[in-house]
Structure 1
């Protein structure tokens, strides 16, 4: 594992780093397959935990609105696909939940960071969201996301694409 400083990763206007990951319900998601389509790529620490569940359910509830704008939503964590399938089933999540099992995508997007909890440091995913335009460029970035109101903020920005 390597340490990535907070705030690194692609910025607005940068080409989105390539990815190809297994996802829930037997799917695979890849940047190459998204060419010509804008999408939300959101990173969350761990499936089926309170904040991650609230965020996932928020995106799922707004999914029709995102799809009406032609925008796909993809969630990413380092959880194994089996856990993502159980999470999706438990909460009726219909968008892909991708497994970054080897950590290459969270590293490329700069969201694998040193975190502190109860005075102890460890590595983990910083809750972050990337809005990628139809040309594969980063249109917006949210780092250190607070779940409340986040989906609405992403939707508002997505409508401007």
Structure 2
């Protein structure tokens, strides 16, 4: 499935990867801007220092020719008190460089994240995806995710 000329290497991200990850964060922001016109021009989504150093999180990535081509994280979070599970894994920073899409990288990174969280006793997982991002929804459904809660918004400023 993966092109033979490209050797893909998966590993946990480290603080040394932060600069490259910040660049990819902007690629995520740019990819999501069409789904939400209110995203700030200088938006930052992730607290990378915390995610990269916390024992409650794992950032995974794929590299090709020493370039990060795919990312994702799982963070162990407190669940709503109305739920049966006390903790859950929240998945984010799910990104694959456009030229590497369709090769199963998102699935492999997601599985690495789930395996890490399961090793810590976490078996419930959540993520956010824009309602109009059908490609992402399809990818997550292939992994067994199902829609559970739809966030709705309105901007009343005219």
Could you say whether these structures have the same fold, taking a TM-score greater than 0.5 normalized by the shorter chain as the test?
Answer: no
TM-score by length of 2: 0.31
State the structure with bigger RCO (CA 8 A, min sep 6), 1 or 2: 1
